[in-house]
Amino acid sequence: MRAVNPLLKTLLIAGALSVATSSCSTISQADIVVEVDGQSVDQETLDRLLTEYSDRSDIFGTDAIGDDLTVDAAQTRLLLSAVVRVTTLSALLATADTSITTADTDLYFANVPDDSPIRELSSEMQLLIATTNRDVVNSALSRVPKPTDAELEASYRHQPISTGLLCVRHILVPTEDEAKTIITKLEGGADFAELAKTESTDTIAASTGGALSGTDSQCLTTSQYVSSFDPGFVRGAFAAPSSGWTAPVKSQFGWHIIMNRPWEEVSADVIASVNGRDGGILVIDGKLNSADIYVDPRYGKWDPPTGRAEPVG
């Protein structure tokens, strides 16, 4: 598959996928292909978007629909991932009895030149593109009440990734056996941060106690993990229990033990982040990380650690 136009690269995340998708002409138009909290997209809508997406290779770098009316699976899931995100946004807005407005989408289109080919797209495709834009999302979600401090605490204690943030410590060692030895020490009452300082091969662990944090926060966004960290480590971090630590997690760097930091250590940073400028993005990412998101299994499944639709199995 050819490269996606840079303008849309952050909206439609590319990935190498292999399972063939069904023909547009052979699937019932009544079928639901994506559903999030009662907000859904049907097969007919996906077919229209997919046809346009495939036809406009000049914008999206896509391949045309084949003579047998089949569509490349990677291409389909790429578009479907954007559809999932927008459907999730709609579900959040519905909780406040609101929806995307022209004032929201104008924040995106104000920066699109009049002669841009994007303006030649259908209103449906233009809306899909606009509603995956960061400024548009934050504007729309400003009309949805932010979670209270107590609600954030409850979410973090139950499932940290539901806040759109990860505030973790990790210990990195070369082998699985060494990781198991670390776990034995933790089970015996050893302090995680102190073990990270003395045992981790992570070069900054001595000063951080194994904490992974941002410049101005004890936490990093889950989207930063998805885009920047080793996939094996990300999957382990997303699956880390709300208290305690993981079993050994393998990455290209070795073997990790990962723990979510307790609420008492990171509460101020979580609250400040969710109430900050990009709080809307964190809210939608938290929903994408933790909601029961339905994707028609003929196309794949929603996979939070990659932030996109992935093949089943």
Q: Where are the domains of the chain?
A: 6-145+286-310, 149-269
Q: Identify residue 190 by its one-letter amino acid code.
A: A
Q: In the predicted model, what is the mean pLDDT of residues 3-7?
A: 34
Q: What is the largest distance, in Å, between two alpha-carbon atoms of the chain?
A: 66
243, 242, 225: which is closest to 234 by C-alpha?
225
Structure tokens at 59: 């914008």
CB 100 within 8 A of CB 143: no
Q: Rounded mean pLDDT of the chain?
A: 89
Confidence of residue 69 (pLDDT cuts 50, 70, 90): low
10-24, 48-62, 77-91: which has the minimum mean pLDDT? 10-24
Q: What topology is assigned to 149-269 in CATH? A: Chitinase A; domain 3 (3.10.50)
pLDDT value of position 215: 86
**Using one digit for the tens of pLDDT, what is the confidence trace for 268-293?**
999 999 999 999 999 999 999 999 99
Q: How far apart are CA 83 and CA 46, in angstroms?
A: 8
Residue 152 contacts by C-beta under 8 Å, 6 or more apart in sequence? 163, 267, 270, 271, 274
Q: For the chain, what percent of residues have pLDDT higher than 70?
A: 89
pLDDT value of position 236: 98
CB 186 within 8 A of CB 195: yes
Q: What are phi and psi of 42, to 5 degrees?
A: -95, 170
pTM of the model: 0.86
pLDDT of 7 over the 70 cut: no
